[in-house]
Structure 1
């Protein structure tokens, strides 16, 4: 019986490797990291592109799904290849998990 898809097995192996090497898992797994500074700023690391940008909502693609920042007067403060700073009034940050290909189920 299969124990998961090859990408899922690879992710588990990398997770165990990161733990044994005492490295942060987000570094080894390219996982998104979102840091919110009060209600003033959201810092998104390991993003894969901006999908939507309005003064009230910013949607960002990551390996694990979509990160949505909602608020008011939102603007892109800085944008780098894998880092993004969103300035303005940050009211909410949500992660919508990516679906596993062809399954309609969230990827694990």
Structure 2
């Protein structure tokens, strides 16, 4: 029961944050701690504001985000740059999937 009410409270707080952000016309990625994805063709992906790597293979990379996980599927995937605030991935990207 406590878990459900805590989850409900977190959901309400996120909805309030989003409403205030929209009302004040602030950039959501900065205010709400969201990740920013930049896809250049299908060969390079930059993910800013990530929370770490959970899986790294040449056909699958899974990243922790504040809203869940991002699964990147492809061939020849290679992490070209890893920084605390951003990751650059190269290879042939076939799909991006957001997981909760």
TM-score range normalised by the length of the shorter chain: 0.7 to 0.9
Find the counterpart in structure 1 of residue 43 from structure 2: 40
Find the counterpart in structure 2 of residue 22 from structure 1: 25
Distance 1:43 1:67 in 2: 12
Write out aligned runs for 1:1-108 (5 A): 5-97=8-100
Structure 2 residue runs of 5 or longer lacking an equivalent are none
Q: Write the deviation string for residues 44-98 of structure 1: whole angstroms up to 9, x where unpaired.
A: 122110011111111001111110111111111111112111111111111012x
SS at match of 1:5: helix
Q: Count the aligned residue pairs.
A: 95
Distance 2:75 2:35 in 1: 23
CA RMSD for the aligned pairs?
1.6
Distance 1:90 1:59 in 2: 13
TM-score by structure 2 length? 0.85
Task: Measure how far apart 1:32 and its partner are.
Answer: 2.3
Q: Considering fraction of residues, name the structure with more helix.
A: 2
Task: Measure how far apart 1:33 and its partner are.
Answer: 2.4
